[in-house]
Structure 1
């Protein structure tokens, strides 16, 4: 058992064996019985996983004797050291020693309890927290003793005569315990403020020696690390179902499948029982990841894969290693209790600390949030109201004496985005114009298809019911509102003007939707990849604008558009087109060429006619 008292106890045991296993120094002074120290001893419990939710109580097991001395080199003189067990606590200590497999007899003035404590270290083992790895089987005598004493406190059969509390602060618990001595430190833990920890198993630890002559404290006394664990929980958007590549620019078309990578580790279940039948709630270990899609923003939610990526176990199988609930809803749960309890058919060979990787997916729905602006809130964490969020919660057992008690630890909230692209169609008098037809192509030149609802179009697959590549400006407003495009470069082309309008100068233009994201550096639980990316910059850049200046920022400006909406004008005749600049010259040059060609044609026909006359 890796205990702070192991080396110290070993020294005490060695001294005891040096005098034939009898009391430490059977002197005439001992016959009257050792006297407990009246000095306080300091104790520090390091809480590397944080103090939140924990409360530590120290119960006196045995005081140090008040007349121990130091050697000339400033170290403890073990020949003068003794334990003094309070008489009110002797029975409980003896029972716990028996449970630990320690047999002792009273010797001189030393009681059975005091003699037994000296022998406690003889059955030590270097195992996690004193248990056989990953089990509730105590493998060290000190662990058995500490657990037996703690059990007596819990069931009320031992009411310790000396109880004191430790004070939390700055990543540790401290106390000056009165008197100096050997203490059982018991943790009570209740999750608060999303704290992420297990309850520590009971700790057996001695205070520092208060005698100023002890210049060198025995190794392992006065300080101990809290025997608990914490688990990571991470989430990120990934490019595909393998979960291997982070997507740091998470924008999508409505109808696209979005993949999310969740990750955690298998807890250290040392000290926790297991129930392969999964019937006993107190013994059934808990470990699950709950993925929550923002309500109504995704459809077709499902679990793509689950694996232990640390060992050769690899891919885990649904139904034998884990169970899934909630597919197709906003909340999907991957429950790993079959694996960690060793249920029938579940894979073996996993160990504490193994990384569990889960990939889930959902289709961005027609009801997803779309945007053409960014959220300017200062605190860019969690769910972005301009995007579509997804969050994960990790659940795992946190009490080694009752596996049904669990932490619910929130992980990162990640966001994915989709954007708007609009046309405002007007006539030469800047009045809304209905019935104009447009098409949109992506950068590869592929014609895009949409489904229509009022004046709003959302991306659709070619051939899908109601899908069309023709977008028509609406009655009364002249609007075409495209909702749900990912960032990229698009070509917008008018293919047909309304009846009565000039068909020879139909405008087209390209627009680039460009986004920039900032990673949420406050999200300390995210993986080292994308995690939570917030949209912080969004631009619309228009190029290859119509040469006739029919595409403008708005009805009052001839400048190029710079938002999600372009104002596009139709005219009824050539004379209404702008006649300034290269565009006008080019247009009339085309007309001139056509007239010259027509004149030449008539000249040829005239010559032919004269020869026939």
Structure 2
């Protein structure tokens, strides 16, 4: 029997889930080999005896911005190769043992690196408490190879993505230069294998809204020899699948008196708050805290900067012909200090005839400003969940000045996940985390679960001096991620409550006081 990718299976072995062998597990020589994965984050203080030498912990909040790094942990165990042949030269197919862990990514994820491959030994206390201790960290090129391939003949979620395979053939065959090259002992069976794969969420990532949550998927698989007489015969089994999410909210600009009249040309700034959720576990203060969204680079990632940078920028062509964003101080806008902030060329970004100037469309990329289109709309997408402060800095033509209306408000993107329990057998066997956490969560459509608890994603107005000029769709509608912002043409159209009215009354009070003072002075002069 041969699978679609050419892997040879014995007649009795089938890929998939059966009653005797649930998803992510296969039975071989009375041993169960699991394969699973979860989303993790790096911690500040490693905890001994946990997976990855305690350097990672499950990420329960699978929220990321486009451009963010995402760490995945793949877990399996070494097979019992007792009685199997092996070939240190790896030239004889029948003698060469196979053992490989693969990570398959959807189109919205780019492979960055295999950060580590480690082996752990299991211990059990007299009370039955299981723990794992680090045995060794394997070395790239001498213990394993990393192969990256395109997902071909694949439809659906994984079309256009890539597969990264960590091939441990060198280790299990005791190849020259490998960790066990000179050992006369058999490869230890049932050791926990922990692989950390790092990806980056890219511009092709699926964007979630309250009405349509869309996860960017990533799945694992395991391939290993299953016949002692012929190591070329291999079993390939599917493992766990995880999802990560990125979000957007929308601004819709209308006339105060006629909400059916949409307004083009309103300009907003958006500032990230320090309370963003979904950061890497234990990463400390969010790097974007207090920063303004400037524009997206060629990878689709947001560039952030100060308010001054958001309102004063230039597009410069560097020595290798790429266009990059710079501030008026000639500093490239960056959180990380890197200089690779190329701006994508395309339909929205116009390249001059001489090839030396790139004009960015504000309505599409929002360089420092988010500008409403002819339908009064502008979307702010590729965001992690959290709070964003929005300010109108320029009103549409023929409307009251933005400085007078002072429309400032905050949008909180919430994400209430549901624990995915399809990998429970793997997590219980290989990841005895103290509180049972496992970094595999899904985001359902917005609403309530059977117990009445909120689930899904929603955007909520949280604060700001917006009075009645900003409204958000209600929990019963599909547009709860849309903030409708109204503009007034005259003072009488402004709301009768809120800070805007207070400012106007204060101004009128000053004017009245000034006029009164003039009359008092004139009266005194006349009396004299």
TM-score class normalised by the smaller sequence? 0.5 to 0.7
Are residues 602 and 330 of structure 1, via their aligned partners in 2, closer, same or farther at CA, if it must alter by over 3 Å?
Answer: farther
Query: TM-score w.r.t. structure 1 length?
Result: 0.57
Query: TM-score w.r.t. structure 2 length?
Result: 0.65
Tell me how far 1:448 sits from its aligned partner: 2.8
- CA deviation map 1:29-62 (0-9, x unaligned): xxxxxxxxxxxxxxxxxxxxxxxxxxxxxxxxxx
- Per residue, is there more strand in 1 or in 2? 2
Whether 1:578 aligns to 2:495 is yes
Are residues 387 and 605 of structure 1, via their aligned partners in 2, closer, same or farther at CA, if it must alter by over 3 Å?
Answer: farther
Q: Is the 8 A contact 1:541 1:561 kept in 2?
A: no
Match of 1:449 in 2: 293
Match of 1:387 in 2: 215
- Residue 567 of structure 1, aligned match among 467, 484, 494: 484
Tell me how far 1:543 sits from its aligned partner: 2.2
- Residue 411 of structure 2, aligned match among 478, 498, 511: 511
Q: Is the 8 A contact 2:26 2:237 kept in 1?
A: no
Match of 2:238 in 1: 410
Tell me how far 1:544 sits from its aligned partner: 2.0
- Residue 191 of structure 1, aligned match among 2, 8, 14: 14
Q: Is the 8 A contact 1:290 1:332 kept in 2?
A: yes
Whether 1:301 aligns to 2:112 is yes
Distance of 2:383 and 2:255 partners within structure 1: 27
Question: Which has the larger Rg?
Answer: 1
Match of 1:81 in 2: none
Match of 1:6 in 2: none
- Residue 366 of structure 1, aligned match among 203, 218, 223: 203
- Per residue, is there more helix in 1 or in 2? 1
Whether 1:400 aligns to 2:400 is no
Are residues 367 and 609 of structure 1, via their aligned partners in 2, closer, same or farther at CA, if it must alter by over 3 Å?
Answer: farther
Q: Is the 8 A contact 2:63 2:245 kept in 1?
A: yes
Report the RMSD for the aligned CA atoms in angstroms.
3.3
Match of 2:173 in 1: 341
Distance of 2:96 and 2:499 partners within structure 1: 77
Q: Is the 8 A contact 1:432 1:477 kept in 2?
A: yes
Distance of 2:39 and 2:147 partners within structure 1: 21
**Structure 1 stretch displaced more, 443-452 or 489-498:** 443-452
- Residue 477 of structure 1, aligned match among 368, 375, 379: 375
Are residues 337 and 604 of structure 1, via their aligned partners in 2, closer, same or farther at CA, if it must alter by over 3 Å?
Answer: farther
Structure 2 gaps, min length 5: 1-9, 44-51, 122-132, 151-160, 275-288, 306-332, 334-340, 344-364, 432-436, 445-454
Match of 2:252 in 1: 424
**Counterpart secondary structure, 1:593:** helix
Are residues 327 and 438 of structure 1, via their aligned partners in 2, closer, same or farther at CA, if it must alter by over 3 Å?
Answer: farther
- CA deviation map 1:42-97 (0-9, x unaligned): xxxxxxxxxxxxxxxxxxxxxxxxxxxxxxxxxxxxxxxxxxxxxxxxxxxxxxxx
Are residues 266 and 533 of structure 1, via their aligned partners in 2, closer, same or farther at CA, if it must alter by over 3 Å?
Answer: same
Are residues 277 and 605 of structure 1, via their aligned partners in 2, closer, same or farther at CA, if it must alter by over 3 Å?
Answer: farther
Distance of 1:197 and 1:588 partners within structure 2: 73
Whether 1:237 aligns to 2:48 is no
**How many residues are aligned here?**
382
**Counterpart secondary structure, 1:592:** helix
Match of 1:553 in 2: 472
Tell me how far 1:362 sits from its aligned partner: 1.3
Q: Which has the higher contact order (CA 8 A, sep 6+)?
A: 2
Tell me how far 1:507 sits from its aligned partner: 1.1
**Counterpart secondary structure, 1:411:** strand
**Counterpart secondary structure, 2:409:** strand
Are residues 304 and 608 of structure 1, via their aligned partners in 2, closer, same or farther at CA, if it must alter by over 3 Å?
Answer: farther
Match of 2:162 in 1: 330
Q: Is the 8 A contact 2:98 2:224 kept in 1?
A: yes
Q: Is the 8 A contact 2:149 2:164 kept in 1?
A: yes
Q: Is the 8 A contact 1:420 1:481 kept in 2?
A: yes
- Residue 188 of structure 2, aligned match among 351, 367, 370: 351
